[in-house]
Amino acid sequence: MTNHILHFFRANVRLNYRFGRSSFHTSGLLRNISSKDASPSENSEAAAKESSNTDTSAGPDDSNAASQPSGASDFKSADRASSPVAPEIVSKEIWDTKSPWEEMVKKFQQDASLQEDYIKNHPLSKQALENAKGLRQTNLHLQYFSPFDKYVRPLDEISSLQNFDEYNAFNEEKFKNYTPPVDALRAEPPFSHVPFSYGGTNQGATMTDFLVETTGVPKSYLQSFVFVPLVIRRVVNQTRKGKIPSIYVLTVVGNRNGVIGYGEGKAANYSLSYKQSCARAVKSMKCIPRYEDRTVYGNLHKKFHAVRLTLRSRPAGFGLRCNAILFEICRCAGIKDLSGEIMGSKNGMNVVKAVFETLHEQALPEDIALQRGHKIVDVQREYYKGSR
């Protein structure tokens, strides 16, 4: 039953399309039915016309449209002459005439091409193309608001918020005038040195001063790092005196150019634990290898406690398509293209630790070639002059 209806529907659509009907689909169906029932007089006239036409042109093959010379007179006759189930063979003249629908489609396509040309040649889009670095599918660059942005603050009120553009990672202009001290061990501390004290009311000391004291990293470097607190939890220690709560913070630090570290801090309030974790993170910073400074070397699989981690290297312009925590770590590290999954446990602390272990345990192709005694060639670099 349904097959018969579909066949009828399809045949009607085809006929409407061919013979210049602007109506389509259901309206065409209804019109056909109504025309069949409502107008017997027209049928007779058209039948007379058709018979006359067929008499003049050809003999017995009058069901075929090849016998019908003109298109206009045959609109009505063809509808009724052909059965609804059997498809009709149409002559070239009738086939080539464009229906209003086709004309509409053509006009739309022309307008679309005009729009595309307008957009392409507009100065703003040309500017966007020039500014775009690396491969991108679109010229649209939406800012990504991550769930961790509310916790990310500048180190001091004086220093401005960092610009999280991955392609502007390391600003060399900042460090042009930096000269390291001659004797690093006996270097004098910077002027107006105010020692940091945990308990005292020290208004002069800031976060950066605290970090310079505890880690020994110069202030300009610290201000270029990105500190992201990824895990913040309220933990409780049950003693015989009662429940002692504390805040646990895990921050990840990165210079957005291949050096990352993580640190954990636990204290009675958030600010102290955050400071602690930042200091420990800076102390634990290490370099990680990156292929073409944008992605990981090969496919990595790791099981850390209950976290099953999979990282896959991807081509330039792919972006970071992975878990939120993984995304933040890669942004700090300067990894721009990555695909990965976390199966099993997604506990934040364990995920961070698993990711750090995998990134440090990457096997470089040069080492693998050395082990197995093969010659290695980077095709991307030799033939296509890769992104380096």
Does the protein bind another protein through residue 374 (CB under 8 A)?
A: yes
Residue range at the interface with another protein (CB under 8 A); choices 79-87, 96-104, 246-254, 371-379: 371-379
CA neighbor of 132 nearest in space, from 322, 371, 317, 364: 317
Does the protein bind another protein through residue 376 (CB under 8 A)?
A: no
Residues 310-329 as x/- pattern, contact with another protein by CB under 8 A: ---x----------------
In angstroms, give the least distance from the CB of 340 to another protein: 14
First to last CA, the chain: 65
DSSP string, 14-80: HHHHHTT----HHHHHHHHHHHHHH-HHHHHHHHHHHHHHHHHH-SS--SSGGG---STTHHHHHHH
Residue range at the interface with another protein (CB under 8 A); choices 47-55, 67-75, 180-188, 372-380: 372-380
CA neighbor of 334 nearest in space, from 368, 375, 370, 288: 288
CA distance 188 to 168: 33
Residue range at the interface with another protein (CB under 8 A); choices 77-85, 91-99, 258-266, 295-303: 295-303
In angstroms, give the least distance from the CB of 298 to another protein: 4
Of 365, 380, 386, 387, the one binding another protein by CB under 8 A = 365
Does the protein bind another protein through residue 372 (CB under 8 A)?
A: yes
In angstroms, give the least distance from the CB of 259 to another protein: 23
Does the protein bind another protein through residue 343 (CB under 8 A)?
A: no
Does the protein bind another protein through residue 20 (CB under 8 A)?
A: no
Of 97, 367, 377, 381, the one binding another protein by CB under 8 A = 367
In angstroms, give the least distance from the CB of 369 to another protein: 9
Contacts for 224 with CB less than 8 Å, ≥ 6 apart: 162, 170, 171, 174, 255
Nearest to another protein of 48, 363 (CB atom): 363
Contacts 24+ apart (CB under 8 A), 309-315: 309/340, 309/341, 309/342, 309/351, 309/354, 309/355, 309/358, 310/340, 310/341, 310/342, 310/343, 311/338, 311/339, 311/340, 311/358, 312/338, 312/339, 312/340, 313/337, 313/338, 314/338, 314/339, 315/135
Of 6, 135, 236, 368, the one binding another protein by CB under 8 A = 368
How many residues touch another protein under the rule CB under 8 A: the total is 13
In angstroms, give the least distance from the CB of 381 to another protein: 16
Residues that bind another protein in the complex, under the rule CB under 8 A: 297-299, 313, 363, 365, 367-368, 370-374
